[in-house]
Amino acid sequence: MADSSGMTLMDLITADPSTVSASASTTTSSSASTQPAQSSGYAASPPKSSSSSGLPTALGKPAGEKRSKRASLMQIQNDTISAAKAALNPVRTNINMNSIMPQKHKQKQKKPVSYAQLTRSIHELAAASDQKSSQKQLVNHVFPKLAVYNSVDPSVAPSLLMLNQQCEDKTVLRYVYYYLARILSDNGAQGVSTGGGIPTPNWDALADIDAGGGVTRADVVPRIVNQLTTEASNADPEFHARRLQALKALTYAPSTNSEILSKLYEIVFGILDKVADGPQKRKKGVFGTKGGDKEFIIRSNLQYGALSSLRRLPLDPGNPAFLYRAVQGVSFADPVAVRHALEILSELSTKDPYAVAMGLGKHAEPGGALQDVLHLHDVLARVALARLCYTISRARALDERPDIRSQFNSVLYQLLLDPSERVCFEAILCILGKHDNAESSEERAAGWYRLTREILKLPEAPSVKDSSKDKSQKTRRPQPLIKLVMRRLESSFRSFSRPVLHAAARVVQEMGKSRAAAFSVGIQDIDETVHVNTFSETLDSQDSDSNETSHPESIRRTSLSAGVGGKDTIASLLASLMEVVRTTVACECVYVRAMVIKALIWMQSPHDSFDQLESIIASELSDPSWPATLLNDILLTLHARFKATPDMAVTLLEIARIFATKVPGKIDADVLQLLWKTCLVGAGPDGKHTALEAVTIVLDLPPPQPGSMLGLTSVDMVSASDPKSALALQRLVQAAVWFLGENANYAASEYAWESATPPGTALMMLDADKMVAAASSRNPTLAGALTRLQRCAFSGSWEVRIIAAQALTTMAIRSGEPFRLQIYELLHTLAQGGVQSQFSEMHLSNGEDQGASGTGLGVLISPMINILDEMYRAQDDLIKEIRNHDNANKEWTDEELKKLYETHERLLDLVSLFCYVPRAKYLPLGPVSAKLIDIYRTRHNISASAGLSDPAVATGISDLMYDSKPTAEEPDVLDDDLVNAWAANLGDDGLLGNNAPAMSRVNEFLAGAGTDAPDVDEENIISRPSVSYDDLWAKTLLESSELEEDDARSSGTSSPESTGSVETSISSHFGGMNYPSLFSSRPERSGGSRFSNPSTGVPSFSEGLGSPIREEPPPYSSPATQRYESFENPLAGRGSQSFGSEDDERTSSGNPQNGTALYDFTAGGDDELNLTAGEEVVIEYEVDGWFYVKKKRPGRDGKMAGLVPVLYVNQS
């Protein structure tokens, strides 16, 4: 049996290293799942008994374990049973014990020990626990080895309990308590306890398998609890050390078990009843000195044990006994007990500050127990004291008792002088109003006020506090808090210890947060150029309890003008601190540096120049050692900073731009975009232009220059030398272009449906120069954005150009004249880019053939031009009609109105395919149509927002836009008030969709959450939440050639079908990317699903789009088209040939058959295609039982065509 067991970490303990290296491979190699490169020392030799090993022998995850679980469970089971049998025959084992065991252990020196052996040894040795030798065995061999395992088999418990009762040896007993505690502690679902170590199976499940005599936790826990309870209640003074351990072990019982819990409360309060009420002698030097009063020491030990256990029990805020005992604990002799008492009190005080303050009563007075804690040599006790004082001194419940609050406040201020950084920093954070991540900005603002205004009345030593009110003591001048804090922080920044540096930077960051809150709450009269001592002098002359805390409402607005030019102004103190902080950026540790940068960002005020910060960040980002998670953390800090001070939008965008250009590969594009958007929304009417400029500045960057090291610190130089980050930068540029298209109208406050200019005026200005001039004078923001997009449409990579064209269309549709016309012209230029000579004097023909040098966007643009054509034509028709009616002076008939309305609706449908517009307000026929359409609507009771013919309603897309958030579609959201509200609680509006990964990350960050396990693969940019996008992107990249071929084949067919496909491929590019748009809640989703919506039986979208045009192809009679017909591009020009050609082409390409997917099918390879049951496909051909089919719309994965099994498709 013993030999069949596997090798474990035991080998490392028992055997000597030389033999271990050969035999221990099972353990170490599988434990190396955390570090694949298993090293030389335990180099892999074939695990000789792995097949029979009954235990998952890995530390860490049993990664290599592939054997059937059942088999290994049975193996253990056998071991356990035999061990139990051995235990059941105490007589025999007793006889054999002395002779066998030593021998056995001699063998063990060479042979590995199995878990089963260990448990058996325990059973055997427990039976002989009175023997010295067996005690020795237990202490030296068995117990230490058992410690390696993750959990302890409950079947050992009886033996442990036996040992506990019979054994005298204290070391054995200590181990026994240790293991009993581990059995008691909750094992969780998979038997994974908190213990770590070598994983063990789920003992209870094992015991269940063996119906015969398995021992489960449920069986032994009551016995253990009973025995421990008895011991913990044993009042024998000689027994009290064991009593403490028993109590401790009991606290490991899961807190969900109310029975054990109530027993524990009973014991703890029982002990305290006995020992807490006596006089608390606090003679210094009692501890550790010989000859202390024995009874007193035993009492103090019990006090300690009881309070420690109480601390581990759930808080019971309503229980007066709980509070009473905790208050008593503050004056206990044992320092650890005092710490626990204070921790309990500080937690209680967050629930019921009044009761705690009243309970503490005299302790808080000068000379009371709280003052003694100041000298206690226990850092965490003083930290708890700081928290306690903070909570009570800020409690509203104590508004009536300023005296009590000032007592606690003065203790808190004294903690600023604490020698330990931990305590001092905690005190600073408390004063700043930072507490538990849930602080309000008022609290923060008040914190900054306190820090800058108030004074510590105790000069050097707290002990002389009584004399501080004595004004004659000039040498002990009261100190302004800010001075103390600054001095302390500066000296901390000189420390060599990284934790200290990190903590100090964090404190400065919190200071920045409070300062920002103070500014935003409006304590503007904090004049940072005022001599700090002025305050203290003023306060001195006031009443003595003037350092009582002020709530934000009651903040005294002292307006002090004197004192400027003094030595220590707040500004100068801050400046010198920030100087020190900046130098800390030289620290080796990136985490410290990250904290410093965060601190700098927070301390940056909107009015200062940020050149220094900018250059620091730029040079930091050039360091390749920054992990992506940290960089994203800083990006989130920018977000938080913006929320605190919306004025900073432009500054922050500038900083964000550095990230975009320096480390495009490491940052989360989603978060960056969200930042852009929030900044844009929050920048306010004046800042919008600048904010948009800051975003789009990304577009103006020169292309990355690989290998250039010159401009590493220049912010304008792009560092994307490796292909990965070049690709990421490319994507950022695309994102920026898209963002520009989506949001330019918002930033410029220019909407077609709010345009005041009648279309007639604009149409007059056909001269391009005039038009541009008019446009830029009318709205420079929009004109600027247009110019940028134009440049991108001409000169970007093909991806960028496509998006730029899209963005331009969006803007054309959303903007009024003359912008629309300007874009219209530009689109024509793009579509016919091949005939450059006719457009640009730069390309005067020198006799060379210009060749096919078009922009390649013809296919893409022609549908866009079509829609604009349609709109202009319809507008012309309408004006003609109106004139006719006016001239003839006749009323509009219902028929005519109906026709008009239908045109209106049809155009709306078309327009909605390109971008989101508010259907209720948008007038494709121009403002003049408003009246007529209104008339028709009222006559026929048509609701404006969602007509039945709305394809969005028909296909269910409306659910995304209308139902989820009806307000989203109303342009009213653009009201300034709403927009501000929107920006203020961007986190919980439904507009962005709370599911957006970036959003949740931002919220999480702002909420200060952070227990999630870290991601280790930081090099992997795909590990970001936008994986779906990356996948999509990769796919589309791979497929792009095919797509383009398609386009080329049907080149120029400006049929709606091809619109659909190109549109689709683009919208699926952005489908997963969550581009923020101000217009719709989930534009990208609606965009994506618009086309990938599996046909739901109702008239599908492309049909809806296609049918009207197919039926009556536009005659291209609009004036604009005619104008350009003269220079028709021989290549792209085919687009305007005819619509009929498209259908011909399709039928001529073989004999495609339609079909419907019968079942869901998941693609097994790259050439296969995912199917959803009910999806319609076109069957191209059949190969070996497979159909090559094309979908009408690409599926979720973006694929259009591929192989599916014949049986999965029903041919129609």
Partner 1 sequence: MILAVLFANSEGNILVERFNGVPAEERLHWRSFLVKLGADNLRGVKNEELLVACHKSVYIVYTVLGDVSIYVVGKDEYDELALSEVIFVITSAVKDVCGKPPTERLFLDKYGRICLCLDEIVWKGLLENTEKDRIKRLIRLKPPTEF
Q: Which is nearer to partner 1, 178 or 872 (CB)?
A: 178
Q: Which is nearer to partner 1, 385 or 732 (CB)?
A: 385
CB of 199 to partner 1, least distance (A): 11
At 82, give phi and psi (nearest 5°): -65, -35
CB of 730 to partner 1, least distance (A): 30
Instruction: Kindly give, in sequence order, each residue whose CB lies less than 8 Å from that of residue 319, ignoring residues fewer than 6 positions away.
Output: none
CB of 175 to partner 1, least distance (A): 7
Q: At what angle do helices 498-521 and 441-453 cross, to 10 degrees?
A: 110
Q: Which is nearer to partner 1, 177 or 322 (CB)?
A: 177
CB of 1004 to partner 1, least distance (A): 8
Q: Which is nearer to partner 1, 196 or 706 (CB)?
A: 196
Cβ neighbour number for residue 464 with a 10 Å cutoff = 13
Q: Which is nearer to partner 1, 284 or 294 (CB)?
A: 294
The one-letter amino acid code at 436 reads D
Q: Which is nearer to partner 1, 496 or 1148 (CB)?
A: 496
CB of 183 to partner 1, least distance (A): 14
CB of 497 to partner 1, least distance (A): 6
Q: Which is nearer to partner 1, 68 or 496 (CB)?
A: 496
What torsion, rounded to 10 degrees, do the Cα atoms 393, 397, 399, 402 define? -40
Q: Which is nearer to partner 1, 668 or 909 (CB)?
A: 668
- CA–CA dist 9, 20 (Å, integer): 10
Q: Are 1196 and 1176 in contact (CB under 8 A)?
A: no
Q: Which is nearer to partner 1, 344 or 1109 (CB)?
A: 344
CB of 297 to partner 1, least distance (A): 5
- CA–CA dist 436, 987 (Å, integer): 20
CB of 350 to partner 1, least distance (A): 13
Reading the block at residue 414, the tokens are: 């004294």
CB of 444 to partner 1, least distance (A): 17
| Separation in Å, CA 611 to CA 655, 657, 660 | 10, 14, 17
Q: Which is nearer to partner 1, 344 or 655 (CB)?
A: 344
Q: Which is nearer to partner 1, 21 or 1118 (CB)?
A: 21
- CA–CA dist 908, 902 (Å, integer): 10
CA dihedral for 15, 16, 19, 21, sign (positive or negative): positive
- CA–CA dist 28, 123 (Å, integer): 29
Pairing relation of β-strands 1209-1211 and 455-456? unpaired
CB of 1016 to partner 1, least distance (A): 5
Compute the half-sphere exposure of residue 438: CA atoms within 13 Å on the CB side of its CA: 2
- CA–CA dist 8, 1 (Å, integer): 15
CB of 251 to partner 1, least distance (A): 7
Q: Is 882 exposed, middle or buried (0-12, 13-18, 19+ CB in 10 A)?
A: middle
Q: Which is nearer to partner 1, 118 or 911 (CB)?
A: 118
Instruction: Kindly give, in sequence order, each residue whose CB lies less than 8 Å from that of residue 585, ignoring residues fewer than 6 positions away.
Output: 593, 596, 597, 616, 620
CB of 305 to partner 1, least distance (A): 8
CB of 1003 to partner 1, least distance (A): 13
Q: Is 270 exposed, middle or buried (0-12, 13-18, 19+ CB in 10 A)?
A: middle
Of 583, 615, 427, 429, the closest CA to residue 506 belongs to 429
- CA–CA dist 438, 1179 (Å, integer): 60
Q: 1178 - beta bridge partners?
A: 1154, 1190
Per the document, the length of the chain is 1212
CB of 376 to partner 1, least distance (A): 12
DSSP, collapsed to helix, strand or coil, labels residue 333 as coil
DSSP-assigned letters across all residues of 1038-1100: HHHHHHHHHHHHTTT---HHHHHHHHHHHHHHTTTT----SS-SSHHHHHHHHHHPPP-SSPP
At 811, give phi and psi (nearest 5°): -65, -35
CB of 484 to partner 1, least distance (A): 18
Peptide linkage before 818 cis (omega within 30 of 0): yes
Q: Which is nearer to partner 1, 244 or 1189 (CB)?
A: 244
Q: Is 230 exposed, middle or buried (0-12, 13-18, 19+ CB in 10 A)?
A: exposed
Q: Which is nearer to partner 1, 429 or 1131 (CB)?
A: 429
CB of 28 to partner 1, least distance (A): 6
Compute the half-sphere exposure of residue 570: CA atoms within 13 Å on the CB side of its CA: 22
Q: Which is nearer to partner 1, 250 or 728 (CB)?
A: 250
Q: Which is nearer to partner 1, 301 or 391 (CB)?
A: 301
